[in-house]
Structure 1
Amino acid sequence: MFRKILIANRGEIACRVAATARRLGVRTVAVYSDADAQARHVQACDEAVAIGGAAPRDSYLRWQRILEAARASGAEAVHPGYGFLSENEDFAQACAEAGLVFIGPPPAAIRSMGSKSAAKALMAEAGVPLVPGYHGADNDPARLAAEAARIGYPVLIKASAGGGGKGMRRVDRAEDFAAALTSCQREAQASFGDAQVLVERYVLKPRHIEIQVFADGHGHCIHLGERDCSVQRRHQKVLEESPAPGLGAARRAEMGAAAVAAARAVGYVGAGTVEFIAEEVGDGELRFYFMEMNTRLQVEHPVTEAVTGLDLVEWQLRVAAGEPLPLAQAQVRQHGHAIEARLCAENPEAGFLPASGRLVVARWPEHVAFRHDERLPRVDGGFGEGDTITPWYDSMIAKLIVWGEDRAHALARLDAALAATHLVGPANNVAFLRRVVASRSFAEADLDTALIEREHAALFEAPPLALHWAAAAVVADALAAEQAAQDADPWSRRDGWRLHGGARRRFELEIGGQRHVAQVQRQHGGETALEIGASRWPLAARALGAARHEIVLGDERVVLAVYRDGDKRVVFAPAGSVQITLHDPIVHAGDHAGETGRLSAPMPGKLVALLVEAGQAVRRGQPLAVMEAMKMEHTIVAPRDGVVLALPYRPGDAVAEGAELLRLSGDA
């Protein structure tokens, strides 16, 4: 086994590798950018080396600097994690030439699977089924458009060197193909340095099922079962589970054999994932097609660990150190059902727009970190309370993994764990994930990659938390804060006592863009009532500590938590959560004066393209500009008809959140 390894990554995967290495008696070296000087992964390792600026190209993608850090620290091996350089054949080759063990597959295997087009040709030779499409090298737009017409719409344009949903577009009509191709190639070039694409038939109700494979340097190769990763947004995974619901034993064995054949075809060594698209062809039977192979550990590997009881990072280290696989195929056992939820800093209601900022509150359910324990949820995270999520990297905050005896048990545990996860600061998807887990399609395992779109009403239009409970929570928090400020001086009392009559207080709340007025009436005898419009409820509240309150509203009782973030209150209750803005008409007077006609950057990032010119007339919904943030492109569209008056920024400029990208007149 190695004495010391360098982890060429950041976030939760770096923390995960450090934890396993420490258990095996292996010392670890972290690398970090200027933005990550105080990051959790730096604290998790035994040593740390600064490697450059905040932008990935100035730090985590500078493999020469990483190799220098490895040599200077005396590391014997490099673990690439996932993302960044994990599938970079040049980096793997450079590690070998520097006398360092790359904890991953050989460079030749990365090269073979790094190009989707080349990989599909190789898989065809190995007899692995492929989706009908065009995988050739000729990327002339006219040729690609002709191939799309031959295949038949809808089609999927995919970056040949891509992954993670970047450089991928579904196209339903021939007239939309050219614009989608341009956008796809631009994103592919920015993300992977390669604009090459392929075109395939779009499977209309696809399931995304992948097989975990593992191979050693002694000729052994096995699979560790499958994961269903069908629940996705923007072609990126949201929930993953193992085993895949409804997958029969015969088809499971067939897919596992195809995955092992794919790995053997490229001389694979280490952990890898062979991804398949599957579709129903009648009587619940699934037909599957090879999609790609990820030549690295996957984000969702913990669900495989949970059902097999194995530590895949430990296997990586042992295989890289020259040891044979610990188990043969016949010895692999799976038990129970596991589900992983990706907790991300993003706003689902705004098209999953990435968010950044300080985590004011980060409270997790009682959990075990990095190791499977069937009694508790597992949290793999790279952030904690007080940490700042920057716009430079992926938006994932943590992963929440649960295990159950069966899928129903795992679903119940996941909902409970999500309900106990309290994140305040940047927008996040925790409440959205609870709604997905509770949706009919997910609960009944009616899975495909369009599940989120299909369940749109349940996921985006359902009220977050009943208005009267949201208002009662804000009131309880305000009353508790005032009572805490009281002392022995009777003049410090804040109990609403009046010489004549009771006291009435007004709370102006904004929830989901809508304003509401709640009033609290307090009588001489101590009775308190909450009024919203014509409705009235007797109210009693008691602070329990740690932001928790017991509230009795009429005949109902609930315990909930309220956290403060400036003029915002975030409420977490068993029935759901909600963010509320408290409005003081005096404090906020004039905040929005003069804002008409302005289009601002919704998050910090880089302006990739301007699609209009000054003086140009535009129509509502017309694309105006393209921004890149957190490794994804975001298109800014016109909110109404108008004329472009000003363009303060040019393509390539860095822009801050709220910066004015362009200005529109009121009329075309």
Structure 2
Amino acid sequence: MLKKVLIANRGEIACRIVRTGHRLGVATVAVYSDADRDALHVRLAGEAVHIGPSPAVESYLRSDRIIDAALRSGADAIHPGYGFLSENPDFAGAVAAAGLRFIGPPATAIRAMGLKDAAKALMEKAGVPVVPGYHGADQDPDFLLGEAGRIGFPVLVKARAGGGGKGMRRVETAAAFKEALASARREALAAFGDASCLIEKYIAHPRHIEIQVFGDDHGNVVHLFERDCSAQRRHQKVIEEAPAPGMPEAMRLAMGEAAVKAAQAIGYSGAGTIEFIADASEGLKADRFWFMEMNTRLQVEHPVTEAITGVDLVEWQLRVASGEPLPKRQEELSIDGWAFEARLYAEDAERGFLPATGMLAHLDLPDDLARVDSGVRAGDRISPYYDPMIAKIITHGPDRTAALSRLSDALAQVRAAGVTTNAAFLRRLTIQPDFAEGRPDTGLIDRHLTELTMVHAAPPEVAALAALSFSGTLAARKTNDPWALLSGFRLWSGASDFILLEHRGQPLPVSFLSKGEGNYRVLLEGRDVDLRISSSPDAFRVEVDGRTSTLHEVHDGKATTVFRDGESWHFTLADPLAGEDEAAAAGDRIVAPIPGLVKLLHVAPGAAVSRGEALAVMEAMKMELALPAPRDGRIAEVLVSQGEQVLEGAVLLTLEVEDG
């Protein structure tokens, strides 16, 4: 067994590798950037090495610094995790050249699967079914248009390099093809430095199903069954499950055999995933699935496979990297129950999934109901430099209904304050009828996006609880001090208070009258509401109109967040003195909605602009955000430079003040 492993990654995957290493007696070395100096993975590992400034390109993507850290720490091997350098064949080769073991496949296998067109040609030769399409070298637009016509519209134009949906366009007609191709090429060139594209038949009712494979250095390859990753948004996975709902045994066997063939064709060693697309228009069938690509690394969603097989895939990685054969043969592997994984992100689903940054003032995760893989704690800062994942929440049950119910309950227990999360969006998805009944497909989230991301107005009892929190009344109710319980006392009359809240940028005036014994009359948006509040150490029981509910509240002085049944509402105190002049001035400024990098500036001082026109592009947390002009006008000032890192709220550009 390896003695010491350096982990060339961060966050939850680094923590996850450290824990398995500790269990096996393998020493671990963390690496960290300036932003991660106090990160959880640094605290958990046996030792840690600083590798550079916060931007990933200056730290986690610096292969020379990572290899030097491994050599200086006396590590035997480097585990790349996923993302960053995990699928970089040059890095894998450099690790081997330095006399270290790369915990992953050989560089030749990574390179073979690195370009989609070459990978598909290789799979066709190995007898693996491939989506009908053109994967050749001829990139002439007229030739590709002819190939698209031969395949039959609709088709997908896909960049041959990279992934994540970049450089991908669905094309419905021949007339729209060349414009879509040009757009995909521009995006692919910017993202991957390679404008080449391939053409594939568009599958009308697609399911994204992948097979976990594992090989060793002795020629053995097995598969560990399938995962369904069809619940996606913009080609990014949201909730994964294993096994796949509605999977016939004949199709499971056929996909497993095809995946093993694919791995054997490139001499694969270590953990990998063969991704297939299946046509579910008439249900899943053994002759209606095709190879898409191979991920030559451990996947983010690997815990669902671990849950149904009882296998620790990181342990297998360490054993294979130590030269051992696979711990189990194919016939020794079986499926036990059902598992789900939800990706909890710092993002605001109700504002177009805008990444959220800031300090996690409070974080409760459902450790009692689920396996939780996380790399952050309360008090940590979610920075703009890296992926905004907070945790992976994994549940397992004897069947799909039980496992999904546990996931829904677990998500309802997520309580994060200081940073907005997608917990409510995830929970809504678990109870969306098509998903709950086992009918996922890659378009499901987009079809139901409005209901999954709609803004829920604050119910009277929620707004009342927030107002009482700001008034200090709730804190008084949690003490045994009899004098504190007299808060708001008035001689000869009831105690009436007024609080002006702000919820999602809108003022919300709340008046309340204490009637004693935890009873209140609240005036909210013209409606009188009588409610009764009783408290426990970690929650409030609120009764309104004969209905009692449990609410949790987190208050930090400047803001309060109220949680109920998986939903949350965030309130601040509104400034009643903010005048109309300030609001009007806001319409003349373009400000940074999140901390990040000013990637592009499209205008200069004096330029005439139209409302909605993109003036600048910001980049943060692997996401690009176009900033539009708030009105017609002319640029007065450009206050930042392209490539500059800015804080949330920074004024980037201003418009000339309108006359009158």
Using structure 1 for the length normalisation, give the TM-score: 0.91
The CA deviation at 1:623 is 3.5
Query: C-alpha displacement at 1:220, in angstroms?
Result: 1.0
- Letter of the structure 2 residue corresponding to residue 539 of structure 1: L
CA shift at 1:156, angstroms?
3.4
| Residues 1:506 and 2:478 aligned together | no
Aligned to 1:225: 225
Cα pair 1:464 1:577 within 8 Å, conserved: no
Bigger shift: residues 156-165 or 106-115:
156-165
Alpha-carbon shift at residue 576 of structure 1 (Å): 2.6
Q: Which residue of 2 aligns with 1:413?
A: 406
SS in 1 for 2:376: coil
Q: Which amino acid counterpart does residue 393 of structure 2 have in structure 1?
A: L
Q: What's the offset of the Cα at 1:219?
A: 1.2
Which position in structure 1 is the counterpart of 2:396?
A: 403
Q: Which residue of 2 aligns with 1:53?
A: 53
Aligned to 2:573: 582
Query: Hey, what does 1:351 align to over in structure 2?
Result: 352
CA–CA separation in structure 1 for the residues paired with 2:22 and 2:42: 14
Work out the CA distance in 2 between the residues paired with 1:205 and 1:192.
29
Alpha-carbon contact 2:205-2:281 (below 8 Å) kept: no
| 2:520 pairs with 1:528 | yes
Alpha-carbon spacing, 1:25–1:235, altered in 2? closer, same or farther (3 Å): same
Find the aligned partners of 2:372 and 2:394 in 1 and give their Cα distance: 6
- Inter-CA distance 527–461: structure 2 relative to 1 (3 Å threshold): closer
C-alpha contact 2:167 2:184 (8 A) present in aligned 1? yes
Q: How far apart are the structure 2 equivalents of 1:316 and 1:654?
A: 38
Task: Report Cα offsets for 1:520-554 as digits up to 9, x if no partner.
Answer: 112478852223245333322233224x2222224
Structure 1 residues 283, 538: CA separation in 2 closer, same or farther (over 3 Å shift)?
closer
Identity %: 52
Are residues 349 and 667 of structure 1, via their aligned partners in 2, closer, same or farther at CA, if it must alter by over 3 Å? farther
Quote how far apart the aligned CAs of 1:123 are: 1.1
The one-character-per-residue Cα deviations of 1:466-500 (angstroms, maximum 9, x if unpaired) are 34334335426741224568957x5x664332223
State the alpha-carbon separation in 2 of the partners of residues 380 and 94 from structure 1. 30
In the other structure, the counterpart of 2:294 is 293
1:662 pairs, out of 632, 637, 653, with 653
The 1:516–1:171 alpha-carbon spacing in structure 2 relative to 1, beyond 3 Å, is farther
CA distance in 2, matches of 1:623, 1:399: 35
**Given that residues 411 and 566 in structure 2 are in contact (C-alpha distance below 8 angstroms), is that contact kept between their aligned partners in structure 1?**
no
Cα deviation for residue 252 of structure 1 reads 1.1
AA aligned to 2:621 is M
User: Contact 2:469–2:555 at 8 Å: present in 1 too?
Assistant: no
Which residue type is aligned with residue 549 of structure 1? F
Inter-CA distance 275–557: structure 2 relative to 1 (3 Å threshold): same
CA distance in structure 2 between the aligned counterparts of 1:454 and 1:143, rounded to whole angstroms:
34
Supply the AA of the counterpart residue of 1:88.
N
1 CA distance for matches of 2:603 and 2:156? Answer: 27
Aligned to 2:422: 429
Correspondence for 2:511: 519
Report the equivalent of 2:375: 382
Q: How does 1:35-114 map to 2 (within 5 A)?
A: 35-114=35-114
TM value normalised by structure 2: 0.92
CA distance in 1, matches of 2:182, 2:579: 43
More moved, 108-117 vs 631-640 = 631-640
Q: 1:193/1:37 Cα in 2 relative to 1: closer, same or farther (>3 Å)? A: farther
Contact 2:600–2:616 at 8 Å: present in 1 too? Answer: yes
Structure 2 vs 1, CA of residues 328 and 596 (structure 1 numbering), >3 Å: closer, same or farther? same
Take 1:333 and 1:525, find their aligned partners in 2: how far apart are those partners?
59
The one-letter code matched in structure 2 to 1:498 is R
Letter in 1 for 2:295: N
Letter in 2 for 1:37: R
Check whether the contact 2:278–2:284 (CA below 8 A) recurs between aligned residues: no
* Alignment partner, residue 627 of structure 1: 618
For residues 650 and 169 of structure 2, the distance between their equivalents in structure 1, rounded to whole angstroms, comes to 28
2:544 aligned partner, one-letter code: L
CA distance in 2, matches of 1:525, 1:63: 65
Distance 1:470 1:312 in 2: 46
**Structure-2 change in CA distance of 1:173 and 1:358 (3 Å):** farther
1:624 CA displacement: 3.5
- Separation in structure 2 between the aligned mates of residue 176 and residue 622 of structure 1, nearest angstrom: 23
Counterpart for residue 439 of structure 1: 432
Q: What is the letter of the counterpart of residue 662 of structure 1? A: L
State the distance in 1 between where 2:469 and 2:531 align. 9
Structure 1 residue 664: deviation in Å? 4.4
Aligned residue number for residue 475 of structure 2: 481
Letter of the 2:79 partner, please give it: H
Partner of 1:361: 362
Does the aligned pair in 1 maintain the 2:105–2:296 contact within 8 Å? yes
The Cα RMSD (Å) is 2.8
Aligned mates of 1:168, 1:667 — CA distance in 2: 41
Matches within 5 A, 1:490-569: 494-523=486-515, 527-546=519-538, 548-569=539-560
Match of 1:371 in 2: none
SS at match of 1:508: strand
In 1: Cα distance, 2:177 partner to 2:652 partner = 27
Measure the CA separation in 2 of the matches of 1:405 and 1:562: 34
The amino acid of 2:307's aligned partner reads A
1:32–1:51 CA contact under 8 A, matched in 2: yes
Q: More displaced, 352-361 or 289-298? A: 352-361
Distance 2:313 2:642 in 1: 43
After superposition, the Cα gap between the structure-2 partners of 1:91 and 1:27, relative to the gap in structure 1 and judged at 3 Å, is same
Aligned residue in 1 for 2:562: 571
**Offset of residue 636 of structure 1:** 2.8
TM alignment of 1:44-443, pairs within 5 A: 44-139=44-139, 151=151, 154-171=154-171, 184-185=184-185, 188=188, 191-282=191-282, 285=285, 287-367=288-368, 376-443=369-436
CA offsets 1:241-269 (integer angstroms, 9 cap, x no match): 00111111111111111111111111111
- Structure 2 portions without partners, runs of 5+: none
Once structures 1 and 2 are overlaid, which stretch shifts more, 276-285 or 77-86? Answer: 276-285
Q: Give the superposition deviation at 1:323.
A: 0.9
Counterpart amino acid of residue 266 in structure 2: V
